[in-house]
């Protein structure tokens, strides 16, 4: 592991809070920085009104100036293609409402584990987000709602793993997270905590000593699953954040989404796996796109996805090969492709 990862000190808490307050929400700001015109990138104010532009400045600074096809830009840019109706694409592509949402703040689809929506807020709006239409207003899960969620978990002794999700759960304060972790650890049949987050990638300053203490100061075995789709997302600050996570003993995994025009290329996918490993994270899942309304232009068909996965399997060792999966509403688990 490079020294910069092992030895870089954690940033002060104020750094990530400032970054979270100073998000780019204006197309003018984003495109002026990149020296691009709206017509070059297919910018759509209507698409942005449906699902607002939101991107941290640090993530924006990793984009290539003057490149309308930059893979980081395309993940956050509100484009005209989002307005096209596409057969098979809808508001709830993986069946997270209805019976899977038995009470506010809980998504319970799989045996033995459930998702706890810690917050509906996120620091970045990825245009392919499968929850871009999710009814967060009906799923408030602030401190006042926690007792009901915890009671649901305590009443079902088949639940051994709780997954912090959102939004992005790391938008919550360290104090809130520590309190929630402690309350979960008091439930005897819960043995594992998993955190699904993009913040260590897009705002690496979020990985402070106090955050890591909040997440690991309990008897629970803790796993963090970050989300990166392209090697260009992982700069030295992100690698240092990953290193701090690893030093706690947490398992650190990455999940990606296969996205047309962004990473649907064997060399790009292999480079991502290699970069993740150097930074201390193991590739976990490569998801086929969840068919959410507004994201059809990112879809890669299954036959091409399989071909890409076969191709990268010939150049990567098995431990760097992510599992190619699709999530199907009503299925009892992720479905291998």
Cα-based angle 78, 284, 217 (whole degrees, multiple of 5): 100
Q: How far is CA 114 from CA 29, 133, 163, in A?
A: 39, 20, 6
CA dist 183 and 313 (Å) reads 42
CA dist 165 and 56 (Å) reads 19
Where helices occur in the chain by DSSP H, the ranges are 3-7, 13-21, 27-34, 38-41, 45-50, 57-60, 73-76, 146-154, 174-185, 199-202, 209-216, 236-247, 266-279, 302-313
Is 286 marked as binding a ligand? Answer: no
DSSP letters spanning 203-225 = -GGG--HHHHHHHHSSSSEEEEE
Is 14 marked as binding a ligand? Answer: no
Is 28 marked as binding a ligand? Answer: no
Look at residue 119 and give its three-state secondary structure: coil
Q: Which residues are annotated as a binding site for [4Fe-4S] cluster?
A: 122, 126, 129
Q: Which residues are annotated as a binding site?
A: 122, 126, 129
């Amino acid at each position: 592991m490079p020294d910069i990862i092992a030895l870089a000190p954690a940033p002060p808490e104020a750094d990530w809070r400032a970054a979270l307050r100073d998000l780019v929400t204006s197309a003018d700001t984003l495109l002026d920085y990149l020296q691009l015109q709206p017509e070059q990138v297919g910018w759509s104010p209507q698409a942005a009104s449906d699902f607002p532009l939101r991107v941290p400045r640090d993530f924006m600074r990793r984009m290539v100036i003057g490149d309308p096809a930059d893979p980081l830009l395309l993940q956050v840019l509100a484009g005209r293609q989002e307005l096209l109706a596409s057969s098979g694409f809808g508001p709830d592509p993986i069946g997270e409402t209805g019976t899977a949402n038995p009470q506010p703040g809980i998504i319970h689809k799989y045996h033995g584990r459930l998702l706890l929506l810690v917050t509906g807020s996120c620091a970045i709006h990825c245009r392919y987000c499968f929850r871009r239409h999710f009814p967060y207003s009906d799923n408030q899960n602030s401190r006042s709602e926690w007792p009901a969620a915890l009671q649901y978990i305590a009443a079902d002794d088949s639940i051994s793993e709780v997954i912090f999700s959102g939004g992005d759960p790391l938008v919550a304060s360290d104090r809130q997270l520590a309190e929630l972790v402690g309350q979960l650890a008091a439930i005897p049949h819960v043995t594992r905590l998993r955190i699904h987050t993009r913040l260590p990638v897009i705002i690496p300053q979020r990985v402070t000593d106090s955050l890591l203490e909040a997440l690991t100061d309990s008897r629970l075995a803790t796993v963090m699953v970050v989300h990166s789709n392209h090697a260009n997302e992982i700069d030295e600050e992100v690698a240092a954040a990953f290193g701090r996570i690893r030093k706690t003993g947490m398992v650190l995994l990455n999940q990606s989404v296969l996205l047309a025009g962004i990473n649907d290329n064997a060399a790009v996918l292999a480079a991502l796996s290699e970069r993740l490993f150097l930074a201390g994270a193991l590739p976990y899942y490569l998801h086929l796109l969840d068919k959410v309304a507004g994201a059809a232009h990112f879809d890669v068909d299954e036959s091409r996805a399989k071909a890409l996965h076969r191709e990268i399997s010939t150049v990567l060792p098995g431990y760097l090969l992510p599992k190619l999966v699709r999530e199907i509403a009503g299925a009892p688990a992720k479905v291998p492709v």
